[in-house]
Structure 1
Amino acid sequence: MITNATAGTNVQEIATGIYRINTPVPLPDGQRFSFNQYLLVDDQPLLFHTGPRQLFPLVSEAIGRVMPIERLRYLALSHVEADECGAMNLLLAAAPSAVPLCGQVAAMVSMGDLADRPPRALADGEELALGAHTVRWFDMPHVPHGWECGLMMDTRTRTLFCGDLFTQSGPSEQALTEADILGPSEAFRQQMDYFAHAPQTAALLAGLAAHAPQVLACMHGSAWRGDGGALLRQLAEAVAPH
């Protein structure tokens, strides 16, 4: 569903009750990129990634095509960066009952000050019931970057909101794919390596793989369906020192 023909913003369901909001954007070098937000519709709806502040009109318009924006309850982020939480306060104003949702480190060092309402901080492994769906938080310090990084998985559909992992360039017209995304994401990383390459990176990715996600909801590029555990282990090998 195209929600803004001029910008190309579109919404597509990638798993039961989970919608990818996608906006293609031009880069200064003439290439194309994309920003995704994921809307989980339930009794207590959750948005993972707010998108940059400048995309707020497009993202809010897209949310409104799926559900009333004022119903939002949680605005989740992996780490503090414009595309993760740039529109946080605009969304908090649009959704009076919403609160930021993040890890304990992000709440302590940034979101307690940056957000207009106090955040709900989740501990590593903590689960949050939204209705038919339950999400689980994973602390992922410095994976791929930022001390406060964390990721979240919907335990019902086994959808992992994997943030900047598996970032793919291009406008990302296909919402959900079963084709290779590791190759394209590694090609992008070789041009601009966004990984911190911390000593515990491989172990954290392996721990995430053990939860066997079936859908990887990437922030940039197509979401992916398949054996997410195997793909995460391949990523761990790809970013390991050689």
Structure 2
Amino acid sequence: MGITNKETRTNIGEVAEGIWRINTPVAIDENTAFSFNQYLIEAQAPLLFHTGPRQLFPVVQEAVEQIMPCSQLRYVGFCHMEADECGSLNEWLACAPDAVPLCSAVGAMTSIGDIACRAPTVLAEGEVIDLGGREVQWFDAPHVPHGWDNGFLFERVTRTLFCGDLFTQPGEGREVVTEGDILGPSEAFRQVMDYYAHGPETGPTLGRLAASKPRILACMHGSAWHGDGERLLGDLARALGA
């Protein structure tokens, strides 16, 4: 659909049928660009994954309204407690009176159960929620890449993995979906500021994600990716092991 806010250049585009990426480019410094992405799943019970930082709430809300009224949201999900993941959670809950947060059991226990203005729905490892036309499955992933409370959501109909900070790419993320190399740029970016915990379960966790055989990797920073997700997650595991 293109630009939804000319000032911030926030834009929206479809990464799979009924799954929309909302992208806002930002400048880290005069030489480095970055981007924040949120994903809207259209369904009978619509879900927003990642809220974006609180300061971006007005432009993300504006973009969502291009697809559906924000009041129709039923779930607001995210990987872990961090401003770009859930900084505007309460703002979304205020504009969507029937929506509830979705998070891991650790996330509910350590933060969301206290800071959210509405009690969260806690997702167990492997649990599936039927959104009506879409099904999402939760994968616990503590410390991968970081955060004790971390986990990932997988949409089973379109085989879209909402992979959070995995494959974080620098730049504005101008391509909504790419089939090009995202591992190389993301690994180069990680070398500058390594945000991985490198825990003993990193390899096995990436293996569980790969076994879901995703076709779309919906990254929080940069372009989404289309292709053999099982292979690319294996490549990431090998790169981290090296």
Q: Does 1:129 align with 2:114?
A: no
Quote the residue 2:28 is aligned against: 27
- Cα deviation 1:103-153 (Å, max 9, x = unaligned): 111011110001000000000000000001000000001000011100010
Report % sequence identity: 59
- Post-superposition shift, 1:31? 1.2
Structure 2 residue matching 1:50: 3-state secondary structure: coil
Quote the residue 1:207 is aligned against: 208
State the alpha-carbon separation in 1 of the partners of residues 34 and 87 from structure 2.
Answer: 17
State the alpha-carbon separation in 1 of the partners of residues 71 and 144 from structure 2.
Answer: 32
State the alpha-carbon separation in 2 of the partners of residues 29 and 109 from structure 1.
Answer: 37
State the alpha-carbon separation in 1 of the partners of residues 115 and 240 from structure 2.
Answer: 32
Q: Which amino acid aligns with 2:127?
A: E
Quote the residue 1:150 is aligned against: 151
State the alpha-carbon separation in 2 of the partners of residues 40 and 22 from structure 1.
Answer: 15
Quote the residue 1:223 is aligned against: 224
State the alpha-carbon separation in 2 of the partners of residues 70 and 180 from structure 1.
Answer: 37
- Cα deviation 1:1-51 (Å, max 9, x = unaligned): 210011100000110110000000111354110000000011000000000
- Cα deviation 1:142-165 (Å, max 9, x = unaligned): 000011100010000000000000
State the alpha-carbon separation in 2 of the partners of residues 134 and 206 from structure 1.
Answer: 21
Structure 1 residue matching 2:162: 3-state secondary structure: strand
Structure 2 residue matching 1:198: 3-state secondary structure: coil
Pairs within 5 Å for 1:2-81: 2-28=3-29, 30-81=31-82
TM-score (norm 2): 0.98
Structure 2 residue matching 1:24: 3-state secondary structure: strand
State the alpha-carbon separation in 2 of the partners of residues 101 and 16 from structure 1.
Answer: 22
Q: Which amino acid aligns with 2:24?
A: T
Q: Which amino acid aligns with 2:119?
A: P
Q: Which amino acid aligns with 2:152?
A: L
Unaligned stretches of 5+ residues in structure 1: none
Q: Which amino acid aligns with 1:166?
A: F
Unaligned stretches of 5+ residues in structure 2: none
TM-score (norm 1): 0.98
Aligned Cα RMSD in Å?
Answer: 0.7
Quote the residue 2:95 is aligned against: 94
- Post-superposition shift, 1:55? 0.2
Structure 1 residue matching 2:217: 3-state secondary structure: strand
Pairs within 5 Å for 1:137-216: 137-216=138-217
- Post-superposition shift, 1:207? 1.2
Structure 2 residue matching 1:110: 3-state secondary structure: helix
- Cα deviation 1:38-95 (Å, max 9, x = unaligned): 0001100000000000000110000001100000000001000000000000111011
